[in-house]
Amino acid sequence: MASQIVRRVLRARASEICAAQSATNPNSARVFSCFDRSLSSAAASGSDLIRATLFPGDGIGPEIAESVKQVFKAADVPIEWEEHYVGQEVDPRTQSFLTWESLESVRRNKVGLKGPMATPIGKGHRSLNLTLRKELNLYANVRPCYSLPGYKTRYDDVNLITIRENTEGEYSGLEHQVVRGVVESLKIITRQASLRVAEYAFHYAKTHGRDRVSAIHKANIMQKTDGLFLKCCREVAEKYPEIKYEEVVIDNCCMMLVKNPALFDVLVMPNLYGDIISDLCAGLIGGLGLTPSCNIGEGGIALAEAVHGSAPDIAGKNLANPTALTLSAVTMLRHLELHDKADRIQNAILNTIAEGKYRTADLGGSSSTTDFTKAIIDHL
């Protein structure tokens, strides 16, 4: 009862502040919605918990998911996990091993975390990742890449985010044979999808205080398709005059990335280039075992995921590195605007790796998953 009164008072005060702010702030709609979200989570941390869907996945998935749960509990993160597993049989409603309940859960909770899933070989079902993407309309794949202090690669100053359009482009899957020995593949670019991902990229840049958005393309050769993508990016750029916008051809971009990655800030690109560039950037900072990733869907859905494989050879042996999944969970927290919790956990992870005392095998150390997790908790 008391908490309800507190909540009502908080909300009233917030709306006063919002009203005052909106009078002076041209981006009032955005401020208001940010406020709303943070208010609801501030109120929620009092008594309610945010529900999030968790897909532990296969192979090393369950172990690293367990690590994430422990770290979150130790950090008092107000999240209640709803675990879902991939079924053994195909659910006819989804044409996949993922059940309708799992998908509804993500739609309801709006946030989720996914461990690595191995798509079983066979016929008559869609790939699990493809199912998730289509059903939840996950249109943008976001990968923040920053050099981890303490884990030395050839690059020390990487600090960029790749935002990749995830629904169309070269991966539309529309191929056919024209005549024997001649095959065609269609690359589709639509105004709607390009605007959507560009809008997200600039919104992200603004909310995370980034200076610059670079659109990656090959419009000198693919004039209509990449040209349309760029046109949409330019339209969105005009609405954000405080953010610098530039266009970089993909081959130049790759060359600049390997010579001087500090040149880039936020990168937005169509599907194929995004696939290549995001993996390239993962390589710059140390590999897929350390890279967080988050998929954004329509209606504000955010499904964070670890992009590495399920590593069946080390499953169950307490050897896996939970960093990628934990950093992805941090990305999820930032999406929920729980920035201080996110920073705390991220710093704990970075400090643990920087210290060098506890490292899992893939980073050159000999700690087990549980030791590494405990070290992170100690650093909180």
Q: Site for a second copy (CB under 8 A): which residue of 252, 312, 317, 357?
A: 252
CB–CB of 285/147 below 8 Å? yes
Residues numbered 197-226 forming contacts with a second copy, rule: CB under 8 A:
218, 221-225
Q: Does 262 bind a second copy (CB under 8 A)?
A: no
Does the footprint of a second copy cover residue 192 (CB under 8 A)?
Answer: yes
Which CB atom, from 257 or from 314, has the smaller least distance to a second copy? 257
- β-partners of residue 297 are 138, 301
Stretch of 110-118, 280-288, 316-324, 345-353 lying at the interface with a second copy (CB under 8 A): 280-288
Sign of dihedral through CA atoms 282, 213, 272, 141?
A: positive
Judged by CB under 8 A, does residue 189 bind a second copy? yes
Q: Residue 315 CA to chain centroid, in angstroms?
A: 24
Residue 375 CB, nearest approach to a second copy (Å): 25
Q: How are strands ordered across the β-sheet holding 266-269? A: 79-83, 50-55, 111-114, 301-306, 292-297, 138-146, 159-165, 266-269, 212-217, 244-249
CA dist., res. 328 & res. 307, Å (int) = 9
Residue 203 CB, nearest distance to a second copy (Å)? 21
- Structural tokens at position 260: 């001087």
CA 365 centroid distance within chain: 27
Which one, 81 or 171, has the nearer CB to a second copy? Answer: 171
**Which of the ranges 66-74, 138-146, 244-252, 354-362 carries the binding residues for a second copy, by CB under 8 A?**
244-252
Q: Which is nearer to a second copy, 280 or 354 (CB)?
A: 280
DSSP H or E run through 142: strand 138-146
The tokens for 156 are: 């020390």
Under rule CB under 8 A, how many of the chain's residues touch a second copy?
A: 52
Whichever of 49 and 255 has its CB closer to a second copy, that residue is 255
Nearer to a second copy, 266 or 269 (CB): 269
Compute the least distance from the CB of residue 99 to a second copy, in Å: 25
Query: In the bound complex, what is the minimum distance in angstroms from residue 259's beta carbon to a second copy?
Result: 5
Please, which residue, 270 or 297, has the CB nearer to a second copy? Answer: 270
Which of positions 281-320 make contact with a second copy (CB under 8 A)?
A: 282-284, 287-288
Question: Is residue 248 part of the contact set for a second copy (CB under 8 A)?
Answer: no
Interacting span for a second copy (CB under 8 A) from 109-117, 136-144, 188-196, 366-374 = 188-196
The residue within the footprint of a second copy, chosen from 31, 280, 354, 361 (CB under 8 A), is 280
Collapsing DSSP to helix, strand or coil, 198 comes out as: helix
Q: Does 146 bind a second copy (CB under 8 A)?
A: no
Among 35, 139, 146, 171, binds a second copy (CB under 8 A): 171
Q: Left if phi > 0, otherwise alpha if psi is -120 to 50, otherwise beta: which for 19?
A: alpha
Least distance (Å) between residue 304 CB and a second copy: 20
Phi, psi of 174 (to 5 degrees): -105, 95
* Contact window for a second copy (CB under 8 A) among 4-12, 183-191, 240-248, 356-364: 183-191
In terms of Cβ atoms closer than 10 Å to its own Cβ (0-12, 13-18, 19+), residue 235 is middle
CB nearer a second copy, residue 62 or residue 309: 309
257 contacts a second copy (rule: CB under 8 A): yes
Where in 331-350 is the site for a second copy (CB under 8 A)? none
Q: Rounded to whole angstroms, how far apart are CA atoms 126 and 112?
A: 21
Token digits for 11? 């909300």
Tell me if 296 sits within 8 A of 207, measured CB to CB. Answer: no
CB of 187 to a second copy, least distance (A): 4
Distances (CA, A) of 157 to 64, 145, 281: 28, 10, 12
What is the rounded CA–CA span in Å between residue 344 and residue 195? 34
| Angle 163-214-347 from CA coordinates, rounded to 5° | 55
Under the binding rule (CB under 8 A), the answer on residue 33 touching a second copy is no
Question: Which residues contact a second copy (rule: CB under 8 A)?
Answer: 153-155, 170-171, 173, 175-178, 180-192, 218, 221-225, 227-228, 250-252, 254-259, 272, 275-280, 282-284, 287-288
